[in-house]
Amino acid sequence: MRRFLLLALCTTAFAGVALADIRIAVIAPLSGPYQTLGQEIKSGAARAVAELNAAGGIDGQTVRLDVSDDICRADTAATAAAKAAARGDVFVVGHVCAAEGDAAAAVYADKGILAISPAITANDFTDHRPGPSILRLAARDDAQGTAAGAFLAKAYGKKRIAVVSDGSPYGKALAEAVVAGLNAAGVKEARSDSFEPGAKDYAGLVDVMIDDDIGVLYVAGYDGDAALIAAALKARRSDIVLMGGDALATSEFGNVAGPAAMGTLMTFYTDWRSQKPAEAVAAAFRADDVEPRGFVLPAYAAVQLFAAARKATHSAKGGELAAWLGKNTVDTVLGPVAFDAKGDTKLPGFGIYRWGAETFEPLPGS
């Protein structure tokens, strides 16, 4: 009898271990000016997890998704990352802003958690990553700047082009890459300046550009400042073409700029919705009245990458999962995904988008 009870207890215990949930997390801005992007990450990851579980999970284990709001703040992100580690989350998909991504990455590296950002473009995120378990699906800022520079040279090469930076790590790296892209295409920038972020009005900056007969103004900075620059251009009835980076892909830019947002150009991620590997998943999102724009499909792919690595390695250790991903190519909703030695994706990165009345869409023919 005792032997039977012991056997029963052991069997139950091992069954419990075998069936324990695999916990992963989305940590992204779910409130504040970047909430649209964070909600896209949440939406993509949630569907990927639901479909993974519907297909039997990972080796029979259910995947459980925890969700946290980092508000795009470094302190909040670090706290959320620490809580994820304490919960036993073995993978995190998320983070949009560079500073909060860096703060959280330090925690993931210390705790051995695999983390994949579908959104952070700052070069330093992987150039100076704190550990090998930090990866990203987003293309780098230097790739973004190169794409912008090549586009500007082709579309506006005969106009006077000014590039201005807010001096932040994001803005400085982006501006340098745009100038390099222009120069590589044989176009010399008319101006390369900096501006003070956080001003209440940029009429002075706009007046300088108008007086210098600038035809295109590339703003390497964040959405709030770029929106005020757009508004100042409209107030002056200027026909200067405004362009920026992926930081302009927020509701904040549209809300602050208002009608002045229309026509603004920006670099943003490849529109994966139109790619063949995404057709079925994109259709499933639309059937649920969700348009899979922005980070939706990259977040979905991040979960696919984790699942493939976990199934192959049977490991919860971030370093081992990342090492496997670094040596293998995984078929995802974005197509085949591989990573280089820095943890950067080898996927193509950016396209050109244009703001309309309420949102932005890919620029036809770009």
List, edge to edge, every strand of the sheet that includes 360-362: 191-194, 161-165, 216-220, 241-244, 265-269, 350-355, 360-362
pLDDT at 9: 41
Radius of gyration of the chain (CA): 22
pLDDT at 19: 66
> Which tens digits make up the pLDDT trace of 324-362?
999 999 999 999 999 999 999 988 788 899 999 989 998
59: its two tokens: 């080796």
What is the Cα 35 distance to its own chain's centre?
13
Q: Provide the CATH topology of domain 142-270+351-362.
A: Rossmann fold (3.40.50)
Q: Going by C-beta distance under 8 Å and a sequence separation of 6 or more, which residues neighbour residue 1?
A: none
Q: Provide the CATH topology of domain 2-138+273-347.
A: Rossmann fold (3.40.50)
Q: Going by C-beta distance under 8 Å and a sequence separation of 6 or more, which residues neighbour residue 3?
A: none
Q: Where are the domains of the chain?
A: 2-138+273-347, 142-270+351-362
Q: Are 113 and 320 in contact (CB under 8 A)?
A: no
> Which tens digits make up the pLDDT trace of 141-169?
888 899 999 999 999 999 999 999 999 98
Maximum distance among all alpha carbons in the chain?
95
Domain pair 2-138+273-347 / 142-270+351-362, same fold: yes
